[in-house]
Structure 1
Amino acid sequence: MVSFMQQHSALNFIAMEDTRWKKFKLCGDYNVDLRSLYLAWSTPAGLEKWFLRKADFYTVPQRLRANDEQIAKEDTYTWYWHGHHNDIFEKGRILEANGQDLLKFSFTGGSIVTVSFSTRNGLTIIDLEQTDIPQENDPAKNLLVQCQIGWTFYLANLKSVMEGGKDLRNKRVELNSCFK
Structure 2
Amino acid sequence: MTNLSTFNKDMTDNRWTKFKLTADFDSDVRSIYEAWATPAGLQSWFLRKADFYTIAGRQREAEEFIKKEDTYSWYWHGYNDETVENGQVLENNGADLLKFTFSGGSIVTVDIQNKYGLTLIELTQENIPPEDDPSKNLYVQCQIGWTFYLTNLKSIIEGGKDLRNKRVDLFTSFK
The TM-score with structure 2 as length reference comes to 0.93
Higher Cα radius of gyration: 1
Matched letter for residue 89 of structure 1: V
Aligned to 1:116: 111
**How far did residue 15 of structure 1 move?**
4.0
For these two proteins, the number of residue pairs brought into alignment is 172
Aligned to 1:159: 154
Could you tell me how far apart the structure 2 residues matched to 1:122 and 1:166 are? 23
Q: Does 2:60 align with 1:69? A: no
Counterpart of 1:60 in 2: which secondary structure? Answer: coil
**How far did residue 16 of structure 1 move?**
3.4
Could you tell me how far apart the structure 1 residues matched to 2:156 and 2:40 are? 13
Could you tell me how far apart the structure 1 residues matched to 2:174 and 2:142 are? 15
User: For residues 179 and 23 of structure 1, do their structure 2 counterparts lie closer, same or farther at Cα, with a shift above 3 Å needed?
Assistant: farther
Aligned to 2:89: 94
- Deviation track 1:73-132 (CA, whole Å, cap 9, x = no partner) reads 000000010111111110000000110110000001000000001111210000000000
Q: Does 2:22 align with 1:23? A: no
**How far did residue 177 of structure 1 move?**
3.6
Aligned to 1:7: none
Question: Map of 1:139-178 to 2, 5 A cutoff?
Answer: 139-177=134-172
- Deviation track 1:42-62 (CA, whole Å, cap 9, x = no partner) reads 000000000000000000000
Gapped regions of structure 1 (runs ≥ 5): 3-10
**How far did residue 71 of structure 1 move?**
0.3
**How far did residue 176 of structure 1 move?**
1.1
Could you tell me how far apart the structure 2 residues matched to 1:116 and 1:103 are? 7
Aligned to 1:35: 30
Aligned to 1:134: 129
Could you tell me how far apart the structure 1 residues matched to 2:32 and 2:48 are? 18
Could you tell me how far apart the structure 1 residues matched to 2:168 and 2:159 are? 25
Counterpart of 2:104 in 1: which secondary structure? Answer: helix
Could you tell me how far apart the structure 2 residues matched to 1:65 and 1:29 are? 29
**How far did residue 172 of structure 1 move?**
1.1
User: For residues 78 and 14 of structure 1, do their structure 2 counterparts lie closer, same or farther at Cα, with a shift above 3 Å needed?
Assistant: closer
Q: Does 2:79 align with 1:46? A: no
Could you tell me how far apart the structure 1 residues matched to 2:169 and 2:9 are? 49
